[in-house]
């Protein structure tokens, strides 16, 4: 009881600051899951956020327009009508949707899913499947599915499916890519008479941008497809990075697999920093993706004058566990000076806040071998590919940039303490030595505040308000 009382009194006391007394402070609110944390930062800190892009007018007008005037495709209603007439009453349509790691507007007045279903029903297509493109992610519970998909899917006349990349009974080989990848794709998708993919286009730290072909590869591909698509050689390629859409081997391979699988119609969208719909495009997959990518190039770039001694960022919507938080680390470390400090905080809502057993296994190798050693190990002919090995490789990018004297301070209440050490998480535990309150939000706030307060007063600090969705670029770029 005495220890608990002491801890409570500590929480009530102001944080001890390491900033020089004459440095004035200001308060900043940052996203933490569905909540926010409030921290004090020096006035000298530079804060960068995405432009406040205006949302599209509500009511679904833009979505219907994208379906009616698509790119390089007949109008969606006409395409569906023709397919229904050709196949007959047993015509089956399948719509691919993203899982809960992407903030795609599937629910609400701006749902990009409901207008598709309505137009299918209007032309008398009654057999409609919705397939969750889980990639290599775990299956979602019904509660998780209902949290981001519209209630219409539980009316009884639509079949909801989840892709399982390990289920060979629902995978079929459709060919081999120029790179040599055997493409295995979900049979529910392949057997549909009308194949539709949907998704969000945003920066992706490997493939340049999400959306487009990624709904198919890796979204509904077999696990073995990732052996090449996310293999060690691919992940070590510097062209596999955010917003690089030229000669990006990861994007090229995704498109090659998708071309073998086929796609009749694509609907992709973009959102702003408040998750509001800002753009929507329909039609042929590659043209749709190119148009959406053109829209995000400017909106997702954060120009900074130079690299900083320290950068603070967060794992964003996607950071449901440590595995997913790697995206934020890779983007934020772009702005850190070699040997600098990266403070990364996250709200891990997943039942396992770290990730799969396979991910944990390779994380341990990263801790043991270091970034360069891990790359060499994974590239060795004696190594047997493990799905999700790519994410420890990405964490390796972060550690390599920080260098042996740099620091990664990881602030996530769900993985602090013994869990952090047991699973060899990279960097330093932001909660080590703190007597944290039971509320995760308050804990995260204390962890981040202490990390900031411990920075020397003469260190430059950059704060990325939008986490992994804002891509910092130094202007002018350093000479090579």
Q: For residue range 310-327, list pLDDT tens digits in order.
A: 999 999 988 999 999 999
Look up residue 186 and give its two tokens: 């979900």
- Other Cβ atoms less than 10 A from the Cβ of 151: the count is 9
Last residue of a domain, one of 298, 327, 343: 298
Pairwise pLDDT comparison (335 vs 457), residue with the higher score = 335
Is residue 384 situated within a structural domain?
yes
Q: For residue range 374-422, list pLDDT tens digits in order.
A: 999 999 999 999 889 999 999 999 999 999 888 999 999 999 999 999 9
DSSP state of 79: H
Last residue of a domain, one of 298, 314, 335: 298
- Statement to judge: residues 244 and 343 lie in one domain: no
Residues 97, 106 contacting (CB under 8 angstroms): yes
- Overall domain count for the chain: 2
Q: For residue range 340-362, list pLDDT tens digits in order.
A: 999 999 999 999 999 999 999 99
Strands 194-200 and 265-271, sheet pairing: parallel
Averaged pLDDT for residues 191-210? 95
Q: Count the helix, strand and coil residues of the chain and give each as a percent rounded to the nearest 5.
A: 35, 25, 40
Residues 145, 151 contacting (CB under 8 angstroms): no
Is residue 4 situated within a structural domain?
no
- Picking from 41, 23, 39, the residue whose alpha carbon sits closest to that of residue 31 is 39
Domain with 226, as residue range(s), is 61-298
Q: Is 41 left (phi over 0), alpha (psi -120 to 50) or beta?
A: beta
Is residue 324 situated within a structural domain?
yes
Is residue 173 situated within a structural domain?
yes
Averaged pLDDT for residues 244-255? 95
Beta strands in 226-299 (DSSP E): 265-271, 277-283
- Statement to judge: residues 68 and 213 lie in one domain: yes
- Statement to judge: residues 380 and 470 lie in one domain: yes
List the beta bridge partners of residue 341.
Answer: 310, 407
- DSSP track, 369-436: HHHHHHHHHHHSTTPPP-TTTHHHHHHHHHHHHH-TT-EEEEE-GGG-THHHHHTT-SSEETTTT---
Distance CA 400, CA 416 (A): 23
Distance CA 212, CA 397 (A): 26
Pairwise pLDDT comparison (53 vs 121), residue with the higher score = 121
Backbone φ, ψ for residue 441 (5° rounding): -65, -45
Is residue 285 situated within a structural domain?
yes
Q: For residue range 216-241, list pLDDT tens digits in order.
A: 999 999 998 988 888 898 888 999 99
Is residue 318 situated within a structural domain?
yes
Is residue 1 situated within a structural domain?
no
- Statement to judge: residues 351 and 372 lie in one domain: yes
Distance CA 436, CA 16 (A): 15
Residue 404: predicted pLDDT? 82
Q: Is 388 left (phi over 0), alpha (psi -120 to 50) or beta?
A: left
Q: Residue 203, Cα to own-chain centre: how many angstroms?
A: 8
- Statement to judge: residues 239 and 375 lie in one domain: no
Q: What is the biggest distance separating any 2 CA atoms in the chain, rounded to whole angstroms?
A: 77
- Statement to judge: residues 23 and 147 lie in one domain: no
Is residue 9 situated within a structural domain?
no
Confidence of residue 477 (pLDDT cuts 50, 70, 90): low
Pairwise pLDDT comparison (87 vs 12), residue with the higher score = 87
- Picking from 140, 472, 156, the residue whose alpha carbon sits closest to that of residue 308 is 472
Look up residue 224 and give its two tokens: 């073995």
- Other Cβ atoms less than 10 A from the Cβ of 5: the count is 9
- Statement to judge: residues 367 and 385 lie in one domain: yes
Distance CA 129, CA 351 (A): 27
Last residue of a domain, one of 251, 281, 298: 298
Residues 196, 266 contacting (CB under 8 angstroms): yes
- Statement to judge: residues 276 and 138 lie in one domain: yes
Distance CA 259, CA 178 (A): 12
Residues 309, 341 contacting (CB under 8 angstroms): yes
List the beta bridge partners of residue 282.
Answer: 267
Confidence of residue 479 (pLDDT cuts 50, 70, 90): low
Confidence of residue 475 (pLDDT cuts 50, 70, 90): confident
- Statement to judge: residues 451 and 337 lie in one domain: yes
**Residue 44 in 3-state DSSP?**
coil
CATH of the domain at 37: 3.90.226.30
- Statement to judge: residues 145 and 189 lie in one domain: yes
- Per residue, what are the HEC states of 287-330? HHHHHHHHHHHHHCEEEECCCEEEEEEECCCCCCCHHHHHHHHH
DSSP state of 71: B
State the pTM of this model. 0.82
Strands 308-314 and 336-345, sheet pairing: parallel
Question: What's the mean pLDDT when you consider all of the chain?
Answer: 91
- Statement to judge: residues 274 and 219 lie in one domain: yes
Residues in contact with 30: Cβ distance below 8 Å, sequence separation at least 6, in sequence order? 36, 37, 38, 39, 314, 345, 448, 463, 465
CATH of the domain at 141: 3.40.50.11440
- Picking from 434, 433, 455, the residue whose alpha carbon sits closest to that of residue 443 is 434
- Statement to judge: residues 238 and 368 lie in one domain: no
């Amino acid at each position: 009881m005495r220890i608990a009382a002491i801890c409570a009194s500590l929480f009530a006391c102001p944080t001890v600051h390491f900033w020089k007394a004459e440095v004035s402070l200001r308060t900043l609110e940052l996203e933490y899951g569905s909540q926010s944390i409030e921290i004090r930062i020096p006035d000298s800190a530079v804060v960068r956020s995405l432009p406040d892009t205006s949302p599209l007018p509500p009511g679904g007008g833009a979505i219907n327009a994208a379906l009616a005037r698509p790119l390089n495709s007949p109008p969606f209603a006409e395409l569906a009508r023709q397919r229904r007439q050709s196949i007959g009453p047993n015509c089956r349509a399948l719509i691919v949707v993203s899982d809960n790691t992407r903030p795609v507007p599937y629910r609400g007045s701006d749902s990009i899913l409901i207008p598709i279903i309505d137009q299918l029903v209007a032309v008398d297509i009654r057999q409609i499947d919705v397939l969750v493109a889980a990639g290599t992610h775990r299956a979602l519970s019904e509660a998780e599915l209902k949290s981001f998909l519209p209630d219409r899917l539980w009316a009884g006349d639509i079949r909801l499916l989840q892709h399982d990349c390990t289920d060979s009974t629902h995978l079929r080989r459709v060919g081999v890519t120029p790179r040599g990848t055997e493409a295995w794709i979900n049979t529910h998708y392949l057997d549909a008479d009308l194949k539709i993919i949907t998704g969000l286009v945003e920066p992706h730290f490997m493939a340049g941008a999400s959306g487009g072909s990624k709904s198919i590869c890796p979204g509904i591909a077999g696990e073995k497809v990732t052996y090449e698509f996310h293999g060690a050689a691919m992940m070590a390629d510097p062209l596999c990075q955010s917003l690089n859409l030229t000669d990006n081997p990861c994007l090229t391979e995704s498109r090659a697999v998708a071309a073998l699988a086929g796609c009749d119609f694509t609907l992709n969208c973009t959102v702003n920093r408040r998750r509001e719909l800002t753009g929507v495009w329909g039609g042929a997959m590659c043209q749709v993706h190119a148009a959406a990518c053109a829209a995000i190039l400017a909106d997702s770039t954060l120009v900074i004058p130079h690299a900083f001694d320290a950068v603070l960022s967060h794992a964003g919507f996607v950071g449901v566990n440590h595995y997913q938080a790697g995206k934020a680390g890779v983007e934020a470390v772009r702005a850190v000076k070699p040997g600098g400090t990266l403070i990364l905080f996250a709200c891990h809502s997943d039942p396992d806040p770290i990730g799969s057993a396979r991910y944990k296994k390779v994380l341990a190798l990263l801790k043991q071998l270091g970034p360069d050693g891990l790359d060499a190990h994974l590239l060795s002919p004696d190594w047997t590919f493990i799905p999700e090995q790519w994410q420890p490789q990405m964490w390796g990018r972060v550690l390599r940039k920080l260098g042996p004297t740099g620091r990664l301070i990881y602030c996530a209440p769900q993985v602090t303490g013994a869990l952090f050490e047991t699973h060899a998480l990279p960097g330093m535990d932001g909660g080590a030595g703190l007597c944290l309150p039971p509320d995760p939000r308050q804990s995260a706030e204390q962890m981040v505040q202490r990390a900031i307060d411990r920075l020397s007063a003469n260190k430059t600090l950059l704060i990325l308000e939008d986490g992994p969705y804002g891509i910092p670029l130094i202007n002018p770029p350093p000479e090579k």
